[in-house]
C-alpha cells in the first residue's frame, strides 16, 4: 500500500500539470525577492527551472582501474548510449547549468533520481544536506564558496547523486573548484580509479570543504586590514560600513558551514551498509575540518565585535580630540579677551568740569600700563599651557 502511494508520487510527475513553481529552500535575500514574483504553494516535487539558468553542458569522465576517458557530450542521447554500453566502467556525469527542463526530467527518469531531491537540485537554494534514497544511494548537497574582490562571499550549489557505478553532479555555473579532483583522475594513478563512486563523492565533498580555507583566509586578511585602518586612519562611516559588511560575510559563512558540519555528522551516523566504514574514515577527517572552520569563523566573529568596539571608541576619541582643541583655544583666549575688553572700557578720567576722577581706570594713565597688561596676558597663557600640558591635553593619545 505504502509502496503504491510512494511510487505514485514518483510516477505522477511527468503528467502533473501544476504549472507554477514551488519555492524551495530559498535563504538568500535576492533569491527570496525573486521568489516573491513566483507563485508560492505549488505541489512539491514539481521540477522548476529558474529563468536565468544557463544552458546545460554535459561532461562525462568514465574510468576503471586502468583507464579513464573524459569527454563533453553535446547530445544527451549519445551520452546515454555510451553510458549504457560501458556498464563495467564507473562514470562521473558532470552537469553544468540547468536551463533545459525536459533534459533534466530525462536525466531524472533515466537514472532513477528521486523528484523531491531533484527539485532541491534545481531550486534556488538548498543548505548542505545528505539524503539516502533508492538502493543505499546518497544525495549530497555541498555549497562551494568564493570570496570576491569586493568582499562578498559567493556560493554555488554542488549536488551529487551516487549510484552503483556512477555519480551525477549538478552545478549551475560552468566554472567550479573541482579541477583538482579531475586532475587526480587524469593522473591515472589516483585511488579514485580503484575505489567505488562513493569515494569519488567523498573526494568532491572534500575539495569543496578545502576551498573554505582560502575564503576564510581572505576574510581574516580583510579583518586585519580593517584593524590597521581603524588604528591608523580616521574613523568614518565608510569604514563602519566595511566592518558591517564583513560581519555579514561571516554570518553568511557560518550559515554555510553549520549545515555542512551537520551533513558530515549525519554521514558518520549512517549504517555501514549505506556508507562503508572505510569511506566514513575519510568523512571523519572532513568533519574535523568543518569543525575547525566553524571554530575559526567563531573567532572571526569575536574579532568583528572587537572591531566595532574599536571603531566606536575611535569615534569617541575623535570627538574628545575635537573638544580638546575647542577647550584649549577657548580657555586661553576667552580670559584674554576679557582682560583686553576691560581696558577698552570708556570710563571717563575727568568729569564734565574737568576734575580728575582718580578711581576711574588709573591703569590706563600709568606709563607702564600697557606693558604690564601684556605681561599679565602672557602669564595667563603660560599658566594655562602648563595646566593643559600637565593634564596631557597638548599631546596626542
Shortest spacing between CB 71 and a second copy, in angstroms:
22
Identity of the residue, 78 or 370, whose beta carbon is nearer to a second copy in the bound complex: 370
Of 131, 184, 119, 192, residue with least CA distance to 162: 131
Considering the rule CB under 8 A, would residue 134 count as an interface residue with a second copy? Answer: no
> Residues 49, 53, 308, 385: which binds a second copy (CB under 8 A)?
308
Q: Which stretch binds a second copy (CB under 8 A): 55-63, 104-112, 148-156, 362-370?
A: 362-370
Would you count residue 66 as binding a second copy (CB under 8 A)?
Answer: no
The beta strands (E) that lie in the chain are given as 57-63, 68-73, 90-96, 129-133, 137-147, 153-162, 166-171
Q: Which is nearer to a second copy, 14 or 102 (CB)?
A: 14
Rounded to a whole number of angstroms, the minimum distance from the CB of residue 136 to a second copy is 14
Rounded CA-CA distance 128/140 in Å is: 7
Distance CA 202, CA 220 (A): 28
- Inter-residue contact 21 to 4 (CB < 8 Å): no
Span 8-37, contacts to a second copy by CB under 8 A:
8-9, 12, 15-18, 20, 22-27, 29, 32-33, 35-36
Min separation Cβ 279 and a second copy, Å: 8
Give Cα separations from 22 to 18, 39, 41, 104, 390 (angstroms). 10, 7, 6, 16, 72
- Asked if 103 touches a second copy (CB under 8 A), the answer is no
Residue 148 touches a second copy, criterion: CB under 8 A = no
SS3 137: strand
Q: Is residue 331 close enough to count as binding a second copy by CB under 8 A?
A: yes
Q: Does residue 369 interact with a second copy by CB under 8 A?
A: yes
Among 88, 150, 347, 390, which residue interacts with a second copy (rule: CB under 8 A)?
347
Asked if residues 168 and 113 have their Cβ atoms less than 8 Å apart, the reply is yes
Q: Which of residues 172-191 bind a second copy (CB under 8 A)?
A: 177-181, 184, 187, 189-191
Angle at 17 between CA 12 and CA 19, to 5 degrees: 130
Q: Is the separation of the CB atoms in 143 and 208 below 8 Å?
A: yes
For a second copy, which residue of 71, 112, 174, 357 counts as binding (CB under 8 A)? 357
| Residue of 91, 96, 129, 143 interacting with a second copy (CB under 8 A) | 129
Nearer to a second copy, 56 or 115 (CB): 115
The single residue among 318, 383, 386, 389 that binds a second copy, judged by CB under 8 A, is 318
Whichever of 84 and 345 has its CB closer to a second copy, that residue is: 345
Query: Which of 280, 120, 262, 107 is closest to 201 using CA atoms?
Result: 280
The interface with a second copy within residues 206-225 (CB under 8 A) comprises 206-207, 210-211, 213-214, 216-218, 220-221, 224
Asked whether the beta carbons of 257 and 211 are under 8 A apart, the reply is no
Of 78, 38, 88, 41, whose CA–CA distance to 58 is shortest?
78
Cβ-in-10-Å burial (0-12, 13-18, 19+) of 72 comes to exposed
Is the Cβ–Cβ distance between 201 and 132 less than 8 Å?
A: no
Binding residues for a second copy restricted to 220-279, rule: CB under 8 A: 220-221, 224, 231, 234-238, 240-241, 244, 247-248, 251-252, 255, 276-278
- On the CB side of 184, how many CA atoms lie within 13 Å of its CA? 13
Q: How far is the CB of 131 from a second copy (least distance, A)?
A: 8
Nearer to a second copy, 110 or 179 (CB): 179
Amino acid at each position: 500500500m505504502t509502496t503504491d502511494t510512494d511510487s505514485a508520487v514518483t510516477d505522477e510527475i511527468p503528467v502533473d500539470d501544476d504549472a507554477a513553481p514551488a519555492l524551495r529552500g530559498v535563504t538568500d535575500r535576492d533569491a527570496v525577492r525573486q521568489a516573491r514574483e513566483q507563485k508560492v504553494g505549488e505541489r512539491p516535487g514539481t521540477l522548476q527551472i529558474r529563468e536565468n539558468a544557463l544552458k546545460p553542458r554535459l561532461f562525462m569522465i568514465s574510468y576503471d582501474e586502468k583507464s579513464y576517458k573524459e569527454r563533453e557530450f553535446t547530445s544527451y542521447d549519445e551520452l546515454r548510449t555510451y553510458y549504457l554500453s560501458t556498464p563495467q566502467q564507473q562514470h562521473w556525469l558532470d552537469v553544468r547549468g540547468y536551463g533545459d527542463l525536459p533534459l533534466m526530467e530525462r536525466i531524472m527518469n533515466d537514472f532513477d533520481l528521486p523528484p523531491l531531491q531533484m527539485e532541491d537540485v534545481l531550486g534556488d537554494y538548498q543548505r548542505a544536506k545528505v539524503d539516502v534514497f533508492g538502493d543505499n544511494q546518497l544525495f549530497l548537497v555541498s555549497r562551494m564558496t568564493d570570496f570576491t574582490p569586493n568582499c562578498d562571499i559567493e556560493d554555488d550549489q554542488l549536488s551529487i547523486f551516487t549510484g552503483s557505478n556512477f555519480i551525477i553532479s549538478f552545478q549551475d555555473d560552468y566554472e567550479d573548484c573541482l579541477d583538482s579532483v579531475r586532475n587526480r583522475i587524469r593522473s591515472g594513478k589516483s585511488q579514485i580509479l580503484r575505489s567505488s563512486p562513493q569515494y569519488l563523492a567523498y573526494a568532491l565533498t572534500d575539495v569543496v570543504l578545502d576551498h573554505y580555507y582560502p575564503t576564510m583566509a581572505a576574510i581574516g586578511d580583510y579583518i586585519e586590514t580593517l584593524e590597521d585602518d581603524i588604528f591608523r586612519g580616521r574613523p568614518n562611516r565608510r569604514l563602519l560600513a566595511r566592518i558591517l559588511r564583513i560581519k555579514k560575510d561571516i554570518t553568511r559563512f557560518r550559515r554555510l558551514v553549520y549545515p555542512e558540519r551537520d551533513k558530515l555528522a549525519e554521514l558518520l551516523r549512517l549504517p555501514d551498509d549505506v556508507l562503508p566504514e572505510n569511506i566514513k574514515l575519510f568523512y571523519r577527517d572532513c568533519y574535523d575540518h568543518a569543525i575547525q572552520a566553524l571554530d575559526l569563523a567563531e573567532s572571526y566573529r569575536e574579532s568583528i565585535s572587537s572591531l566595532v568596539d574599536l571603531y566606536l571608541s575611535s569615534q569617541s576619541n575623535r570627538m574628545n580630540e575635537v573638544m580638546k582643541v575647542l577647550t584649549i583655544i577657548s580657555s586661553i583666549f576667552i580670559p584674554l579677551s576679557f582682560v583686553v575688553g576691560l581696558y577698552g572700557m570708556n570710563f571717563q578720567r575727568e568729569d564734565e568740569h574737568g576734575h580728575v576722577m582718580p578711581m576711574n581706570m588709573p591703569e590706563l594713565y600709568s606709563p607702564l600700563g600697557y606693558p604690564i597688561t601684556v605681561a599679565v596676558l602672557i602669564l595667563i597663557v603660560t599658566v594655562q599651557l602648563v595646566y593643559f600640558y600637565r593634564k596631557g591635553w597638548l599631546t596626542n593619545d
